[in-house]
Amino acid sequence: MNFLSDKKILLASKSPRRKQLLKDTGFSFTVIKGKEVDESIPEKITGKDVAIFLADLKADAYTNEIKENTILITADTIVCLNDKILGKPKDYEDAFNILQSLSGKEHKVITGVSVRSAEKQISFADETSVKFKDLSKEEIDYYITNYKPYDKAGAYGIQEWIGYIGITEIKGSYFNVMGLPVQKIYEILKKFA
Amino acid sequence: MNFLSDKKILLASKSPRRKQLLKDTGFSFTVIKGKEVDESIPEKITGKDVAIFLADLKADAYTNEIKENTILITADTIVCLNDKILGKPKDYEDAFNILQSLSGKEHKVITGVSVRSAEKQISFADETSVKFKDLSKEEIDYYITNYKPYDKAGAYGIQEWIGYIGITEIKGSYFNVMGLPVQKIYEILKKFA
C-alpha cells in the first residue's frame, strides 16, 4: 500500500507516540528532531486555528530545507476545556488541578498537522470530544504518581490507565487524541504521491 | 487501586485482546478457557439484548462452579449493520463482502458483559458507533491478505491497519470496540468489592 515509495517522509517530532502511530499506519519514514520554536500564540485565535498555527510554526523552522521528493510532517496537539487551552502540567499540583477540571466534563482534543513538500503544503486540524467520568481524588493521585503525565497536554494520555478507567466516551478519532489523526494524514499524503 | 485484592477474578475468554485490556485496566486475574456453548440466538431479540444473552450464556456454563471470593467475567462482542448481525467471516470472499458492506457507512459494535460471583450477577452491554470511509477494493484486499481477520466479528480489528486508515470517527468507547468496555467494567467491579 505504500503509494509514496519514491518519496522520503520526515516526521519532525519528539513524541514516541506519534512515531508509533505513523508506523502502524504503514508508512516508512525518518524521525527528525523538531527544532525549538517560540510557541507564543497570537491573541484572538482559538481552537483548531491554534493547533494549525503551532503545527505550521514547527514546519516553518524548515523553510527552504525541504528537498525534492521529501515530505515533512509536523503536528501539535492541544487540549481545550470551554475554549481555554490546557498546557502541559508544571508539577504535581498543576497536574492535579488540570485533571480535576476535566473530571465529569467533556473537553476537546485538537491536533493540528502540517504536511509540506518543496512544491506544496497542506495544513489541517482534527478535533475529538472526550468525556471523563467524575474522577475521585484517589484516582487522580494514583494516576499522577504512577504515570507522571508531565509531558502531556491536559495532563493525561488516553492510552494510559486513566483513559481505561476514566473516559466514558469519545466522539471523533481515538488516534487523534493520542497525538496524530492518522486517517486524515493517510488521505492527505495521497495528494503528495 | 486494587480494591478487589481479596477476590480472585477469572476472565473466561480466548481473546488475547480482552486479556490485555483487562490487564491494562490494572486488575490481577486469571484467564480460563471459555467453555464451548451453543450460540444460537433466540428469535426476536436484537442489538444489546443479543450481546448480553451471549455473555450470559458463556457465564451460565459455570453455574455452581463459582467459588466464594471469586468473580467470573465473560463477554461477547457483536457487530451490527442496520440491525443485521455480522459474524466472523468464513473465508476471504466472506471477509471481502463484510468489509465492502461496512465501507462508507456507520455501524455499531456492542459488547455484552456478564460479571458473577457466588452471591450476585450483573450483566450489561456497551455500544459504540463506528464510521468507515469509502474503502477501495485494493485497501480491503490488502487488509484481508495481510491481517487475516477471520477470528473477528465484522472482519476487522480497530487496532489494526484498517482501523488507522479507514475509520473516520467513533462515538462511544474505543476499548469497547476492541472487545471489552473496561471503563464500565471498572465501575461494576466496585460493586463486587
Look-up of cell digits 516508512 = A28
Give the span between the Cα atoms of A105 and B110, in whole angstroms.
Answer: 24
**Cβ proximity of B96 and B81 under 8 Å:** no
At residue B64, the pLDDT reads: 84
DSSP summary character for residue A118: S
Neighbours of B80 (CB within 10 A): 20
- Taking any CB pair shorter than 8 Å as contact, residues of chain A touching chain B are 1, 21, 24-26, 133, 138-139, 142, 158, 161, 164-175, 182-183, 186-187
Question: pLDDT tens digit string along A22-80?
Answer: 999 999 999 998 788 888 888 889 899 999 999 999 999 998 889 999 999 999 999 99
At residue B36, the pLDDT reads: 84
| Cα–Cα separations (whole angstroms), residue A145 to A94, A95, A98, A132, A191 | 13, 10, 15, 19, 44
Q: For Cα atoms A94, A34, A55, give the angle at the middle one, nearest 5 degrees.
A: 75
Question: pLDDT tens digit string along B48-58?
Answer: 999 999 999 99
The residues with which A85 forms a beta bridge, in sequence order, are A80
Q: Tell me: pLDDT of B38 over 90.
A: no
Q: Tell me: pLDDT of A112 over 90.
A: yes
Question: pLDDT tens digit string along B94-127?
Answer: 999 999 999 999 999 999 999 999 999 999 999 9
Q: Tell me: pLDDT of A18 over 80.
A: yes
Q: Tell me: pLDDT of A136 over 90.
A: yes
Question: pLDDT tens digit string along B170-190?
Answer: 999 999 999 999 999 999 999
- Lookup: cell for B74: 465473560
Neighbours of A76 (CB within 10 A): 25
The band of B4, judged by pLDDT with boundaries at 50, 70 and 90, is: confident
Calculate mean pLDDT across residues A130-143: 98
Which residue type does B68 have?
E
Look-up of cell digits 433466540 = B42
Under an 8 A CB cutoff, do A161 and B25 touch? yes
B167 by Cβ neighbours in 10 Å (0-12 / 13-18 / 19+) ranks as buried
Dihedral over alpha carbons A150, A155, A156, A162 (to 10 degrees): 100
CB-nearest partner of B164 from A164, A167, A175: A175
Under an 8 A CB cutoff, do B170 and A175 touch? no
**Which of A24, A49, A60, A76 is labelled catalytic?**
A76
**Cβ proximity of B130 and A174 under 8 Å:** no
Indicate the pairing of strand B167-172 with strand B121-132.
Answer: antiparallel
Which residue type does B148 have?
K
Give the span between the Cα atoms of A52 and A126, in whole angstroms.
Answer: 10
Question: pLDDT tens digit string along B125-169?
Answer: 999 999 999 999 999 999 999 999 999 999 999 999 999 999 999
What dotted CATH number matches A8-190?
3.90.950.10
Q: Tell me: pLDDT of A1 over 80.
A: no
Catalytic, A76? Answer: yes
